[in-house]
Amino acid sequence: MGPDELGWVSGEIDLSRANPARMYDYFLGGTQNFPVDRELADQAIALRPELPRAARLNRAFLGRAVRHAVGAGIRQFLDLGSGIPTEANVHEVAHAADRRCRIAYVDVEPVAVAHSHRLLTGHPRVSVTQADLRDVTQVLADAGVRAQLDFDQPIALLLVAVLHFLPAEDDPAGVVRQYVSALPPGSLVAISHVTTDNLPSEWRTVAGLYQRSATPIHPRTLAEVAAMFGDLPLIPPGLVDAVDWRPEPGAPPQSVSGFYAGVATKP
């Protein structure tokens, strides 16, 4: 893929450094990435060959969380840090369960937004917004978000594999709290977050590689990720490794993914 394919956003793309969203796309087997992304991603894979597997396991958690939300009666999704659309994106999973579902995607990365616009044009129940999730007021007031979501009805807030890009000074728990305050009762909050807990020391070296990317990564402990849910009650099995969050019946056992994952309700 070359910059000329991105139309109106091509001038906004920094090709001097790898971008984690595009690296994640590469891990998942996507094509919306550049040589600079693949170079750093390959260095990470050389250290930990299971990285693409970890990305897929996190993606599988997203699908299970979406299906759980639909099963709980929720038909609206606010996906923050939605990334580059690949197989089994939120709208695909949700619409496979109920075509009435509405999805508002939000991402700051121009490649993710441009590709999303290209793929999702003509989907009346899906919107794509380019915004920084830290600007809660802007996101919640966005015309596309408001066109899709009725804030008087329960919403599933998805923060999957994104909060680890916010440093401590951005107060990620406080950002989550602002979004939760705007959600009506009965809403769900799904979070997954990179951790190096219970992993070999080489994983910390991989996290260090991301310091050379456009958006460094900040792995956190179980307690730090749990704090992002605030006082919201977690549904069983609580905050666990992504592979252990409601695995599909009959699924073979998996080793840890390197992501903590959980879903909470707003009473």
Residue with tokens 């992504």: 242
pLDDT digits (tens, 9 = 90+) for 27-76: 888 888 889 999 998 998 888 888 888 889 999 999 999 999 999 999 99
Query: Which strand ranges, in their side-by-side order, compose the sheet holding 76-80?
Result: 126-130, 102-107, 76-80, 156-160, 188-194, 259-265, 240-241
Task: Output the six-digit token pair for 180.
Answer: 């939760």
| 176 within 8 A of 188, measured Cβ to Cβ | no
Q: What's the domain range around 169?
A: 59-199+221-266
Q: Residue 28 falls within a domain, yes or no? A: no
Question: Which pLDDT does position 61 carry in this prediction?
Answer: 97
Q: Residue 170 falls within a domain, yes or no? A: yes
| Range of weakest confidence among 96-105, 117-126, 206-215 | 206-215
Pairwise CA distance, residues 40 & 238, whole Å: 33
Higher pLDDT, 254 or 141: 141
What is the number of structural domains in the chain? Answer: 1
Q: Residue 175 falls within a domain, yes or no? A: yes
174: domain CATH number is 3.40.50.150
Question: Which pLDDT does position 228 carry in this prediction?
Answer: 98
The whole-chain average pLDDT of the chain stands at 89
| Range of weakest confidence among 63-77, 217-231, 249-263 | 249-263
3-class secondary structure, 168? helix
Q: Residue 103 falls within a domain, yes or no? A: yes
**φ, ψ dihedrals at 68, nearest 5°:** -60, -45
Pairwise CA distance, residues 148 & 101, whole Å: 9
Q: What percent of the chain has pLDDT over 90?
A: 61
Q: Residue 33 falls within a domain, yes or no? A: no
The closest of 153, 148, 151 to 129, measured between CA atoms, is 148
Residue with tokens 């307690």: 223
Higher pLDDT, 193 or 87: 193
Q: Residue 29 falls within a domain, yes or no? A: no
Dihedral angle computed from the Cα positions of residues 199, 241, 228 and 188, in that order, rounded to the nearest 10 degrees: 160
pLDDT digits (tens, 9 = 90+) for 104-134: 999 998 888 988 888 888 888 999 999 999 9
Higher pLDDT, 150 or 34: 150
Q: Residue 256 falls within a domain, yes or no? A: yes
Pairwise CA distance, residues 36 & 21, whole Å: 12
pLDDT over 80 at 78, yes or no: yes
Question: Which pLDDT does position 203 carry in this prediction?
Answer: 66
pLDDT over 60 at 190, yes or no: yes
Question: Which pLDDT does position 182 carry in this prediction?
Answer: 98
